[in-house]
């Protein structure tokens, strides 16, 4: 921690159904595809001087495997566990193995949705949470994670939009 951003490796993990962004419930998740979100993340990582990799899976075990493999090779993780946010003790346990900053991200404001979406099984173990900003939330997560890695003395951060919309405005 506290080193030059150019030396930091960031892993972004996208959970189930996020491969369907752009067509899946656009009134909630917007019209941007996961490919477009990843391209924007890559451009931002390049501007910040970070090495970044992305991973998406609809399968809990594959996400757990990816988290475990990240243990010795990444300096921080941004994760949108999607539906697994509310159900996966396995993902929680895998994240608990890590001693690196973790940022939980959600496209929608989960507290303004169905009651079961109000519960995150990882919220108490992540360093920061961002929800409700649509695809822009990923960029906020990357910027925040960069600050955590270069200036780790800050407090935990929760960023949550007050309204739930597709947030596709520039």
Residues 6+ apart with CB under 8 A from 136: 167
138 has catalytic annotation: no
- The number of residues making up the chain comes to 170
**C-alpha distance from residue 34 to each of 13, 30, 46, 152 (Å):** 11, 11, 18, 29
What does the alpha-carbon distance between residue 22 and residue 39 come to, in Å, rounded to a whole number? 14
Of 14, 106, 138, 167, the catalytic one is: 106
Q: What is the DSSP string of 88-103?
A: -HHHHHHHHT--S-EE
Of 8, 29, 138, 167, the catalytic one is: 29
Active site residues: 29, 106
């Amino acid at each position: 921690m506290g080193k030059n951003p150019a030396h930091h490796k960031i892993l972004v993990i996208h959970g189930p159904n996020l491969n369907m962004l752009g067509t899946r419930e656009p009134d909630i998740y917007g019209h941007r595809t996961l490919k477009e979100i990843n391209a924007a993340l890559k451009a931002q990582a390049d501007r910040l001087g970070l090495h970044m990799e992305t991973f998406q899976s609809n399968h809990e075990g594959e996400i757990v495997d990816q988290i475990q493999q990240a243990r010795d090779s990444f300096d921080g993780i941004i994760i949108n566990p999607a539906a697994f946010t509310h159900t996966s003790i396995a993902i929680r346990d895998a994240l608990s193995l890590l001693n690196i900053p973790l940022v939980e991200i959600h496209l929608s404001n989960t507290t303004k949705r169905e009651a079961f979406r109000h519960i995150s099984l990882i919220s108490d173990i992540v360093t920061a949470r961002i929800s409700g900003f649509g695809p822009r939330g990923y960029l906020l997560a990357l910027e925040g994670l960069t600050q955590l890695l270069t200036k780790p003395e800050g407090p935990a951060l929760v960023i949550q939009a007050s309204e739930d919309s597709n947030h596709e405005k520039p």
